């Protein structure tokens, strides 16, 4: 009995060799029909004997390509059309049709697969040492696609005409490159160029790569056009090269990521679990934060200045053939960091790189495949056998985060720091790649382009826009303009509310949730700066149920860079002006008297309940009083110092009011006393961390809600997260932390989407 089925497959099914797989499965089963990419799905019709059709469906479900994810598969019987000619069934891959609403059905950029790696290392292969080798299982996707459905004319490979050999591979159903859209070879594909910053060509092709490697070995800083933007590379074993890079990039101490040639090299510098190995070699190939081995180890010596005073090292393996070839040529670990100055965005085109990286890079290794949108390297870490994404970009964006059910289309513009933007489409939220801090016009430009890119790419007209409650954020002001010009409502979602909603969205939590959003800064509706929030949330309803007692922040935003200011404010609040003598070593006499005079005038300085600033203040009381070079540096230092064996805790009593207020007076006094008694800082730090875990437990017991969420930048602190999770789980609470989106402000856009979804529904 012959049968014909119309099949619709949704999920990540484009750009992963799905149609070739369907073609092969249908052909080998002797079926006729066709397959086509549509904007929102892959559509298949097959016809043939009953058993063969059933067998085909089974293979579709169970044997699809490794990078594909099937979220939905619908099959309906339709009347047969082909005359059954089993001798020569015709199964065709039809050209893609646009038209239907766009859905997130494409994969992110994928690291080089093992088959392609083998080819670039084998002298007999025609792609030997070719930096742009890829196939249906690997290579650029999101960074080169200009539109849907995913096909070569809608990628930046459009300008390269395939040679006859590549064309044969592309057309051959048995080839690994059957319908591999970015297919390329040395004859027809992109090629390398080594430029001076003036734009003058130094070398081309293989010579360009070799000359770049020689320069790096000699201590130069080379900008390379990576997968999703320019990166800066330098010899990671050379203290001088690293220092030079830091000076030029204006990045004094923030840790830099290293790229190591292989797992053996990683193992030589860092402790590494099975799980962590799997992540490093995954198609996402993120930067993974690994615990460094102590002391001198093997032949791999990473300069101290790569990650000063940090027990962790951000490590990645080469993720494109270009990186593999370069690392092989350099024969040393290299620094591989975003191609930018300080907090500016990454450059993505060559002329921009020549201008913006002048004064930073000595040479530019570039190529002629255009990058369509910036996609930075992702940063992750493993925690208790799960992956936690800290910066979400290459390999993860634009994989959608599924919501609990279909939602109106919302555009969320994200937070001011570590910005991401998000767009809901059906029951999915696409969170765009990490944009960065919106402190300069270049970043704002990237932010605005990221918004128009998402909206245009998925061809969605948002029904509403979500932004932060802070009226002065550039993102808020842009959202106001967009809402006006699109004539759609604007919803302002409080920062910490958005943090908790982000975790609720990520875990599809239903019913009441107690959320702890502990971070540096967020605009509170009461005129104070929030940051140690416990929020009780049930769907659209939310209430602030606990926070720390506020303290003045001398100098406002300046305090984020100067922990001593937070410490002075904390001392003044809790122990009064007479206690501030402790601060005399931190400021000059005139600075201190000016600040104290200002503190006496109420309301001159903003007041905050920020947990991040409390961390800074305690770090300063423990001696870390110098200016920090990035937010959270002092807090990180405090975390790394902690003696994990210490079980004692300071106490933070809670008031009976609603919201309950945590009082740090005893804590501050105890830290000062312990310091005076010579208690090691490692133990003081641990007691402080333990106090915060206890505080979370006290609040949770008071509220009595079984589902508890831990989010906000402070929960990137591994010790705090572990201690709080342990306390809460032991007491019977279900504890959720963020995994697939960052707990820091990179996760805010997802939470804003959910916040607006609730309000649209009201």
Give the binding site for Fe ion (CB under 5 A).
519, 745
Q: In terms of CB distance, is 61 or 187 closer to Zn ion?
A: 187
Options 13, 26, 166, 654; binder of Zn ion; rule CB under 5 A: 166
Question: Which one of the spans 34-42, 79-87, 111-119, 412-420 is the region binding Zn ion (CB under 5 A)?
Answer: 111-119
SS3 call for 679: coil
- At its nearest, how many Å lie between Fe ion and the CB of residue 691? 21
Structure tokens that stand for 127 in this block:
């792609």
**Nearest to Fe ion of 150, 715 (CB atom):** 715
Say which entry of Fe ion, Zn ion, none residue 519 contacts (CB below 5 to 8 A, set by partner kind). Fe ion
**Complex with Zn ion: residue 159 or 593, whichever CB lies closer:** 159
Residue 113 binds: one of Zn ion, Fe ion, none (C-beta under 5 to 8 A by kind): Zn ion
Residue 188 contact among Zn ion, Fe ion, none, beta carbon within 5 to 8 Å by kind: Zn ion
Min separation Cβ 510 and Zn ion, Å: 41
Question: Please, which residue, 189 or 522, has the CB nearer to Zn ion?
Answer: 189
Nearer to Fe ion (CB atom), residue 557 or residue 643 = 557
Of 6, 101, 163, 203, the one binding Zn ion (CB under 5 A) is 163
Q: How far is the CB of 382 from Zn ion (least distance, A)?
A: 25
The smaller minimum CB distance to Fe ion, of residues 519 and 633, is found at 519
- Provide, rounded to whole angstroms, the least separation between the CB of residue 60 and Zn ion: 22
Based on CB atoms, which residue is closest to Fe ion, 345 or 712? 712
Taking the complex as a whole, how short is the minimal distance between the CB of residue 339 and Fe ion, in angstroms? 27
Give pairs for 149-153: CB < 8 Å, separation 24+: 149/14, 149/37, 149/38, 149/39, 149/96, 149/97, 149/98, 150/14, 150/15, 150/37, 150/96, 150/106, 150/181, 151/37, 151/95, 151/96, 151/181, 152/181, 152/182
CB of 229 to Zn ion, least distance (A): 22
What CA–CA distance (Å, rounded) separates 17 from 567? 57
137 binds Zn ion (CB under 5 A): yes
- Work out whether the CA dihedral 479, 606, 253, 249 comes out positive or negative: positive
Residue 372 interacts, among Zn ion, Fe ion, none and using kind-specific CB cut-offs from 5 to 8 Å, with none
Name the CA radius of gyration of the chain, rounded. Answer: 28
Contact 105, 148 (CB under 8 A): yes
> What's the rounded Cα separation, in Å, for the pair 729 and 737?
12
138 binds, among Fe ion, Zn ion, none (CB under 5 to 8 A by kind): Zn ion
Q: Which CA distances in Å does 343 have to 338, 349, 371?
A: 10, 18, 21
Contacts with Zn ion in 506-525 (CB under 5 A)? none
Furthest-apart CA atoms within the chain: distance in Å: 96
- Out of Zn ion, Fe ion, none, what residue 137 binds, judged by CB under 5 to 8 A for its kind, is Zn ion
Paired with 529 in beta bridges are 523, 608
Work out what residue 185 binds among Fe ion, Zn ion, none; the CB cut-off runs from 5 to 8 Å by kind.
Zn ion
β-sheet bridge partners, residue 412: 422, 466
Backbone φ and ψ of 534, nearest 5°: -120, 120
Number of residues that bind Zn ion (CB under 5 A): 10
Which part of the chain contacts Zn ion (CB under 5 A), choosing from 109-117, 207-215, 520-528, 652-660? 109-117
HEC string for 313-328: EEEECCCCHHHHHHHH
Q: Which stretch binds Zn ion (CB under 5 A): 106-114, 271-279, 512-520, 729-737?
A: 106-114
Do 314 and 288 meet the contact criterion of CB atoms below 8 Å apart? Answer: yes
Pseudo-torsion of CA 265, 267, 269, 274, nearest 10°?
Answer: 140
Determine if 118 is a binding residue for Zn ion (CB under 5 A): no
Which among Zn ion, Fe ion, none contacts residue 135 (Cβ within 5 to 8 A by kind)? Zn ion
429 binds, among Zn ion, Fe ion, none (CB under 5 to 8 A by kind): none
Query: Are 540 and 758 contacting, i.e. CB atoms less than 8 angstroms apart?
Result: yes
227 is a contact residue toward Zn ion (CB under 5 A): no
Give the binding range for Zn ion (CB under 5 A) out of 137-145, 275-283, 578-586, 619-627.
Answer: 137-145
- Smaller CB separation from Zn ion, 65 or 489: 65
Scanning 138-146, 190-198, 216-224, 475-483 for contacts with Zn ion by CB under 5 A, the matching segment is 138-146
> Would you say the C-alpha torsion 340, 389, 559, 584 has a positive or negative sign?
negative
Nearer to Fe ion, 517 or 681 (CB): 517
Restricting to residues 621-680, name those near Zn ion by CB under 5 A.
Answer: none
Least CB distance to Fe ion at residue 102 (A): 31
Contact 299, 374 (CB under 8 A): no
Between 120 and 641, CB nearer to Zn ion: 120
Exposure string of 286-315, with b = 16+ CB inside 10 Å and e = fewer, is: bbbbbebbeeeeeebbbbebbbeebebbbb
User: Applying CB under 5 A, which of residues 116, 194, 514, 708 lies at the interface with Zn ion?
Assistant: 116
CA 89-92-98 angle, to 5 degrees, is 155
For residues 428 and 406, is the Cβ–Cβ distance under 8 A? no
- Using DSSP, state whether 490 is helix, strand or coil: strand
Closest to Zn ion by CB, 126 vs 247, is 126
* 315 vs 323: CA distance, rounded Å: 14
Q: Minimal distance in Å, beta carbon 743 to Fe ion?
A: 9
**Least CB distance from residue 117 to Zn ion, whole Å?**
8
Binding partner of residue 502 among Zn ion, Fe ion, none, CB cut-off 5 to 8 Å per kind: none
Question: Least distance from C-beta 495 to Fe ion, angstroms?
Answer: 6
Beta carbon of residue 609, minimum distance to Fe ion (angstroms, whole number): 13
Interface stretch with Zn ion, choices 157-165, 295-303, 495-503, 606-614 (CB under 5 A): 157-165
> Are 708 and 729 contacting, i.e. CB atoms less than 8 angstroms apart?
no
Nearer to Fe ion, 137 or 420 (CB): 420
Write the CB contacts of 705 (distance below 8 Å, at least 6 apart in sequence).
Answer: 512, 513, 514, 536
Q: Which is nearer to Zn ion, 160 or 523 (CB)?
A: 160
Residues of this chain, 175-204, that bind Zn ion according to CB under 5 A: 185, 187-188
Task: Determine contact, residues 709/509, Cβ cutoff 8 Å.
Answer: yes
Q: Figure out which of the listed residues 138, 464, 567, 757 binds Zn ion, where binding follows CB under 5 A.
A: 138
- Token reading at 130: 């070719």
Q: Which does 745 bind (CB under 5 to 8 A by kind): Zn ion, Fe ion, none?
A: Fe ion
Spatial separation of the C-alpha atoms in residues 143 and 348, rounded to whole Å: 10
Considering the complex, state which of residue 135 and residue 465 has its C-beta at the smaller distance from Zn ion: 135
Q: Which tokens belong to 301? A: 């010596």
For residue 123, give both structure tokens: 């002298």
Residue appearing with tokens 């416990």: 534
Residue 674 or 745 having the CB closest to Fe ion: 745
681-703 and 633-641 are packed helices; what angle lies between their axes, rounded to 10 degrees? Answer: 100
Cβ proximity to Zn ion: between 284 and 305 the closer is 284
Closest CA to 72 of 83, 61, 85, 58: 61
d(CA 553, CA 408): 40
Residue with CB nearest Fe ion?
519
Residues that bind Zn ion (CB under 5 A): 113, 116, 135, 137-138, 163, 166, 185, 187-188
């Amino acid at each position: 009995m012959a049968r014909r089925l119309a099949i619709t497959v949704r999920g990540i099914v484009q750009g992963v060799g799905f149609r070739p797989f369907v073609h092969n499965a249908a052909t080998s089963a002797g079926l006729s029909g066709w397959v086509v990419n549509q904007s929102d799905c892959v559509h298949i019709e097959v016809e043939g004997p009953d058993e063969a059709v059933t067998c085909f469906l089974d293979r579709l479900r169970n044997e699809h390509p490794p990078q594909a994810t099937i979220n939905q598969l619908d099959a309906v019987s339709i009347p047969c059309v082909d005359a059954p000619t089993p001798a020569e069934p015709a199964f065709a891959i039809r050209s893609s049709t646009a038209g239907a609403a766009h859905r997130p059905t494409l994969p992110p950029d994928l690291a080089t697969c093992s088959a392609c790696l083998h080819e670039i290392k084998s002298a007999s292969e025609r792609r030997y040492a070719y930096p742009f080798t890829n196939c249906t299982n690997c290579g650029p996707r999101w960074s080169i696609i200009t539109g849907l459905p995913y096909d070569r004319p809608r990628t930046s490979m459009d300008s390269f005409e395939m040679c006859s050999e590549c064309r044969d591979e592309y057309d051959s159903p048995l080839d690994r490159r059957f319908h591999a859209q970015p297919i390329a070879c040395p004859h027809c594909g992109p090629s390398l160029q080594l430029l001076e910053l003036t734009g003058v060509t130094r070398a081309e092709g293989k010579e360009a790569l070799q000359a770049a490697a020689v320069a790096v070995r000699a201590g130069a800083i080379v900008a390379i056009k990576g997968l999703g933007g320019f990166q800066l590379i330098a010899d990671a074993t050379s203290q001088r090269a690293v220092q030079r890079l830091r000076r030029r990039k204006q990045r004094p101490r923030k840790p830099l990521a290293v790229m190591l040639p292989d797992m053996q090299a990683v193992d030589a510098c860092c402790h590494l679990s099975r799980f962590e190995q799997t992540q490093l070699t995954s198609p996402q190939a993120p930067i993974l934060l690994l615990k460094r081995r102590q002391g001198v180890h093997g032949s791999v010596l990473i300069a101290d200045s790569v990650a000063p005073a940090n027990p962790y090292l951000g490590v990645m393996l080469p993720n494109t053939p270009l990186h593999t070839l370069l690392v092989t040529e350099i024969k040393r670990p290299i620094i591989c960091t975003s191609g930018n100055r300080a907090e500016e965005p990454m450059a993505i085109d060559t002329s921009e790189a020549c201008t913006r990286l002048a004064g930073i890079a000595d040479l530019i290794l570039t190529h002629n495949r255009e990058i369509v949108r910036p996609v930075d390297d992702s940063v992750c870490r493993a925690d208790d056998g799960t992956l936690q994404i800290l910066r979400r970009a290459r390999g993860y964006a634009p994989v959608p985060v599924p919501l609990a059910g279909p939602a109106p289309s919302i555009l969320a513009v994200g937070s001011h720091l570590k910005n991401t933007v998000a767009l809901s489409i059906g029951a999915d939220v696409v969170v765009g790649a990490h944009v960065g801090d919106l402190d300069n016009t270049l970043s704002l430009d990237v932010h605005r382009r990221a918004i128009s890119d998402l909206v245009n790419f998925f061809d969605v007209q948002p029904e509403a826009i979500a932004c932060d409650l802070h009226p002065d954020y550039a993102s808020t002001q842009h959202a106001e303009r967009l809402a006006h010009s699109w004539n759609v409502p604007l919803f302002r979602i409080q920062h910490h509310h958005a943090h908790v909603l982000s975790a609720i969205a990520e875990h599809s939590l239903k019913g009441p949730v107690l959320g702890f959003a502990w971070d540096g800064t967020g605009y509170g509706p009461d005129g104070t700066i929030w940051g140690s929030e416990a929020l009780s949330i049930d769907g659209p309803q939310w209430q602030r149920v606990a926070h720390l007692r506020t303290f003045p922040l001398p100098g406002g935003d300046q305090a984020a860079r100067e922990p001593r200011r937070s410490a002075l404010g904390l001392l003044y609040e809790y122990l009064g002006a007479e206690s501030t003598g402790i601060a005399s070593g931190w400021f000059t006499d005139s600075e201190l008297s000016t600040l104290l005079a200002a503190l006496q005038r109420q309301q001159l300085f903003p007041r905050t309940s920020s947990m991040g600033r409390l961390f800074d203040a305690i770090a300063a009381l423990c001696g870390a009083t110098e200016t920090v070079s990035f937010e959270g540096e002092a807090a990180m230092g405090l975390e790394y110092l902690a003696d994990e064996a210490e079980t004692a805790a300071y106490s933070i009593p809670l008031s009976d009011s609603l919201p309950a207020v945590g009082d740090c007076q005893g804590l501050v006094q105890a830290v000062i006393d312990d310091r005076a008694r010579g208690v090691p800082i490692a133990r003081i730090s641990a007691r402080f961390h333990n106090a915060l875990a206890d505080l979370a437990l006290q609040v949770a017991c008071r509220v009595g809600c079984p589902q508890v969420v831990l989010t906000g930048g402070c929960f990137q602190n591994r010790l705090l997260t572990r201690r709080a999770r342990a306390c809460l789980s032991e007491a019977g609470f279900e504890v959720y932390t963020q995994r697939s989106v960052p707990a820091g402000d990179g996760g805010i856009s997802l939470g804003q989407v959910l916040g607006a979804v609730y309000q649209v529904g009201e």
